[in-house]
Amino acid sequence: MTDVPLEDDGFNTLTEKITRERGFGCASYKEKCVRRRIAVRMRARSVHTFADYGLVLDRDPHEYELLLDALTINVTKFFRNPETFAAIDGELIPALYARVEPQLRIWSAGCASGEEPYSMAMLMHRYATTQGKRFDRVEVLGTDLDRTSLASAERAVYLEPTLSDTPAELRQLYFSTQPPYRIHADVRARVQFRRHDLLREPFPEPQHLIICRNVIIYFDRVTQEALFERFADALLPDGFLVLGRVETLFGPARAKFAPVDSRERLFRRL
């Protein structure tokens, strides 16, 4: 097969199935892009219609993981999806610093090589220094299954491509001036890393903010619902949950959250 299939009914049925079974919001992507990437997996499985590919997914649930890899752009960089971090900066960080608890705990679940938790620490530090708050209250935890990624995160040394979305001000404030770029010590001091399995291990102590972006989509619907419940239990009242922009909060746990920014997938624990 050399062309992207054109039959619309089968395409819509398939994307609805993907959303239903994995919570992946296909509608958040351009249709042409989704069609093209699904076609890649269809060629790999030697099927010619969307309906037949749906049958492949039924027979071999592991194919969902390969499909999601094809649909998502697996890029790790600082401030990935800048609009999301702008919403966090404007909506969540002031609310976090307004809390009275002695520590502010932030958990980046599925942190890969550390760009996300360090991005959060930078924003927290900037707010503290400009608003006269105590940055030493902040504890950022990054967790992942992959030991190699965690070792890279602990080194805190990065190459140019990972900084492409970093605002110039933050780049000047928090990175060394020459490559490879090392994160400044005052930010590194508030970030810790730990190997952790979301599905099999207890969650860290109650958090004020949990960020888990583009991780949930890799699990089946039952597992997703269970994780949402566990995230709800792991958040303090009025704590926050941030999901990826293609992810959907659903199931019984949905009633435990109020939207802060629906587009950027920011939620407040009730």
Please give the tally of structural domains in the chain: 2
Domain hosting 225: range is 82-269
Same-domain check for residues 131 and 90:
yes
Residue 1 placed within a domain: no
pLDDT at residue 174 tops 70: yes
Residue 64 placed within a domain: yes
pLDDT at residue 32 tops 70: yes
Same-domain check for residues 128 and 230:
yes
The whole-number pLDDT of residue 41 equals 96
| 62 CB-side CA count, 13 A | 1
Burial class (CB in 10 A: 0-12, 13-18, 19+), 226: middle
Q: C-alpha angle with apex 75: 56 to 112, nearest 5 degrees? A: 95
Neighbours of 40 (CB within 10 A): 13
User: pLDDT band at residue 2, thresholds of 50, 70 and 90?
Assistant: very low
Same-domain check for residues 49 and 158:
no
The whole-number pLDDT of residue 28 equals 66
pLDDT in tens, 231-253: 999 999 999 999 999 899 999 99
pLDDT in tens, 153-163: 999 999 999 99
User: pLDDT band at residue 73, thresholds of 50, 70 and 90?
Assistant: low
Parallel, antiparallel, or unpaired for β 191-195 and 235-243? Answer: unpaired
Residue 76 placed within a domain: no
The four Cα atoms 127, 172, 175, 192 give a dihedral, to 10 degrees, of 10
**Which of residues 41, 71, 101 is at a domain's end?**
71
Q: What is the pTM of this model?
A: 0.84
Whether 223 and 251 have beta carbons less than 8 Å apart is answered as no
The whole-number pLDDT of residue 82 equals 97
Helix residue spans in the chain (DSSP H): 8-22, 31-44, 50-59, 62-71, 82-87, 93-97, 115-131, 147-155, 168-174, 185-188, 221-234
Same-domain check for residues 220 and 255:
yes
Same-domain check for residues 95 and 123:
yes
| Domain harbouring 26, CATH code | 1.10.155
Same-domain check for residues 131 and 20:
no
For the packed helices 50-59 and 31-44, what is the interaxial angle rounded to 10 degrees? 60
User: pLDDT band at residue 31, thresholds of 50, 70 and 90?
Assistant: confident
The whole-number pLDDT of residue 76 equals 87
The whole-number pLDDT of residue 5 equals 60
Higher pLDDT pick, 95 / 69:
95
Residue 160 placed within a domain: yes
Q: Per-residue pLDDT averaged across 148-177, rounded?
A: 96
Q: Comparing 196-200, 208-212, 232-236, 238-242, which segment has the lowest mean pLDDT?
A: 196-200
pLDDT at residue 4 tops 80: no
Same-domain check for residues 66 and 135:
no
**Which of residues 31, 51, 71 is at a domain's end?**
71
pLDDT at residue 1 tops 50: no
Same-domain check for residues 30 and 89:
no
pLDDT at residue 148 tops 90: no
